[in-house]
Amino acid sequence: MKSRLKYFPQIFDFIYEIVLLNSCFLVSNVIFFQIFFVIDLKFEFLPIYFLTSLTFYPSLSALLKVTKTKNTSTIVRVFCKEFKNSIKKNWQQFTGLNFLMFILIGNLYLLTTDTFFSATLSTANLLFAFLLLLFLVTILEESGTASGNNLLKKGLFLFLKKGVKNLLFLTLAAGVLVLGFKISFFSMLFIFGLIIKMWDYIFIGRETSSFGISN
């Protein structure tokens, strides 16, 4: 019995970390989620979604750095610091890629599948959007070791090398999201933190720089 009880503090710390990571993500993207639950994702509202989603990538970049710490008491403080650093160093790259993603999303609304040519364009647009998503995952993983244009160059260099692994991550993350929200809407209170922790622990591990190193 005692041997089992000794694991309780570790389990509690893990749950507490997940909740903190999730809270940091939700708070830093609170405007986007408010828009998401109020306004439908229609073509005419894409500019609003674009503007409110600008914090997505800096927050994810910061959270992947935060996961390197073993001290849960510093998570919020360090997240705020890394969030600001990410915006300062990579805002142009993240904003440009986010804009390109929304252009591709907008094209999906405009392109039809009435003819072979338009269907081909629609398929090519969807494929490019998916490849861009894989590229975004790659640069987010490398944002702890590079910044600015060097981050884009490193992302391009590692894109093919990490393609299969990042595809597995996106598939698993999508599955966790769908399953979580099917079980309960309140999974939103921890599911993003769980995915971020899973992303770091399973798919990144020791590949990125150690926690606390700012580039």
Domain borders along the chain are 2-204
pTM of the predicted structure, to 2 decimals: 0.85
Q: Note the pLDDT of residue 170.
A: 92
What integer is the mean pLDDT of 26-35?
Answer: 94
DSSP state of 114: S
Tens-digit pLDDT profile for residues 79-126? 999 999 999 999 999 999 999 999 999 988 887 767 777 888 888 999
Rounded to whole angstroms, how far apart are CA atoms 15 and 3?
20
Rounded to whole angstroms, how far apart are CA atoms 170 and 134?
8
List phi, psi (to 5°) of 118: -70, -35
211, pLDDT greater than 60: no
Tens-digit pLDDT profile for residues 179-206? 998 888 888 889 999 999 988 888 776 4
Residue 205 backbone class (left: φ over 0; alpha: ψ -120 to 50; beta: rest): left
CA dihedral angle for residue 13, residue 16, residue 20, residue 23, rounded to 10 degrees? 160
Q: pLDDT category, 3, cuts 50, 70, 90?
A: low
What integer is the mean pLDDT of 50-54?
Answer: 95
2, pLDDT greater than 80: no
Q: What angle do CA 65, 70, 75 make, to 5 degrees?
A: 55
Residue spans of beta strands (DSSP E) within the chain = none
Q: Note the pLDDT of residue 207.
A: 46
Q: pLDDT category, 209, cuts 50, 70, 90?
A: very low
What integer is the mean pLDDT of 174-182?
Answer: 91
167, pLDDT greater than 80: yes
1, pLDDT greater than 80: no
Rounded to whole angstroms, how far apart are CA atoms 20 and 206?
22
CA distances from 191 to 32, 63, 188, 195 (A): 17, 14, 5, 6
Tens-digit pLDDT profile for residues 134-160? 999 999 988 888 888 899 998 998 888
Q: Note the pLDDT of residue 6.
A: 63
Tens-digit pLDDT profile for residues 59-85? 999 999 888 777 788 889 999 999 999
